[in-house]
């Protein structure tokens, strides 16, 4: 990969294992907007980004080298060799080759912990378009307005401080439904220090998971998503309705409990389980595996 400054933009050339559409559309994040073919805008870490990809070239519009190195390089996990990861996964089980080949541009982006926690609480028993809509509304209502785009108001995901005083009723007005008390409890536990990001990062994955599950509305699946997408735990393997179908189709016969599927995958893929999960999820869901 080769980085250079082109006027106000940062251009990355010879980018490997990177497809901006697959990265954003694979279901790991929700705060983005598609502008065209491989042309997106997103907000993360209070920063706005317009990014477009032409083959192996990725253009980060109106981005300083400082912003690129301090935010976007880490966000898109650009120092990680996904070629090696994919090779190792196929060595672990060559039945992954089809999904990996179909979605070879996926990367697990490094998302903000608090945003990931609230987002995946909202995700439960919900569909992706509606999750995106709720997060957009939530950001618009409680998030800071970034003035990056003249004449337009773009809102970042709300910070903890802005959420502290939010009530269940206000949240229900945003159509989060039965998830409202769950969000209130999550905010309260983070604000009160019961849930602390630094502590979680210093725990084992199993310890951090059970700590997250002390939040009302956070079960095994949501906790695993927070671990994988918000805390960099690549050994986490979230099993939702789609992963259940896909894994049953590939490895089991008939109805299998999510916990059984999860421990099977963690045993099989080890420290790379999270990557395997994302290739399988996006590929399997798009193919409609298991209906």
Partner DNA sequence: GACCAGGGTAACT
Partner DNA sequence: AGTTACCATGGT
Helix (H, G, I), strand (E, B) or coil at 270: helix
Q: Does 257 bind DNA (CB under 7 A)?
A: yes
Q: Does 278 bind DNA (CB under 7 A)?
A: yes
What is the 8-class DSSP label of residue 144? Answer: P
Interacting residue with DNA among 9, 33, 124, 137 (CB under 7 A): 124
Catalytic residue among 221, 244, 258, 287: 221
Strand (E) or helix (H) holding 261: helix 258-269
- In the range 131-190, which residues lie near DNA by CB under 7 A? 131, 172, 175, 177-178
Distance CA 154, CA 251 (A): 44
175 is a catalytic site residue: no
Q: How far is the CB of 67 from DNA (least distance, A)?
A: 26
Strands in the chain per DSSP E: 2-6, 9-13, 32-36, 39-44, 47-54, 57-61, 145-146, 154-155
Q: Does 206 bind DNA (CB under 7 A)?
A: no
Size of the site for DNA (CB under 7 A): 38
- Report the phi/psi class of residue 270: left, alpha or beta, with left for phi > 0 and alpha for psi in -120 to 50: left
- In the range 211-240, which residues lie near DNA by CB under 7 A? 213, 215-223, 225, 238-240
**Which sequence positions are flagged as catalytic?**
221
In the complex, which residues of this chain contact DNA (CB under 7 A)?
26-28, 123-131, 172, 175, 177-178, 213, 215-223, 225, 238-243, 257, 277-278, 281, 285
């Amino acid at each position: 990969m080769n980085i250079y400054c082109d006027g106000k933009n940062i251009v990355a050339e010879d980018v490997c294992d990177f497809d901006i559409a697959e990265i954003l559309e694979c279901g790991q994040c929700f705060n983005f907007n598609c502008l065209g073919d491989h042309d997106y805008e997103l907000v993360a870490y209070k920063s706005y980004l317009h990014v477009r990809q032409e083959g192996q070239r990725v253009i980060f519009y109106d981005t300083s080298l400082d912003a690129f190195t301090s935010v976007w390089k880490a966000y898109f996990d650009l120092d990680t060799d996904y070629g090696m990861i994919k090779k190792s996964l196929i060595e672990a089980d060559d039945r992954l080759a089809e999904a990996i080949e179909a979605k070879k541009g996926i990367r697990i982006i490094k998302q903000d912990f608090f945003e990931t926690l609230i987002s995946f609480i909202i995700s439960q028993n919900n569909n992706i378009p509606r999750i995106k809509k709720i997060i957009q509304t939530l950001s618009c209502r409680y998030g800071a307005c970034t003035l990056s785009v003249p004449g337009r108001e773009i809102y970042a995901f709300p910070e903890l401080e802005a959420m502290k005083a939010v009530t269940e009723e206000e949240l229900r007005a945003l159509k989060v439904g039965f998830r409202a008390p769950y969000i209130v409890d999550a905010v309260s536990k983070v604000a009160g220090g019961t849930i602390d990001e630094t502590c979680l990062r210093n725990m084992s994955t199993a310890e951090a998971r059970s700590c997250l599950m002390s939040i009302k509305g956070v079960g095994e699946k949501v906790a695993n998503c927070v671990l994988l997408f918000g805390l960099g735990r690549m050994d986490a393997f979230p099993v939702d309705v789609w992963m259940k179908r896909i894994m049953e189709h590939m490895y089991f016969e008939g109805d299998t409990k999510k916990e059984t599927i999860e421990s099977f995958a963690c045993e099989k893929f080890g420290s790379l389980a999270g990557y395997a999960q994302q290739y399988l999820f996006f590929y399997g869901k798009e193919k409609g595996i298991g209906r």
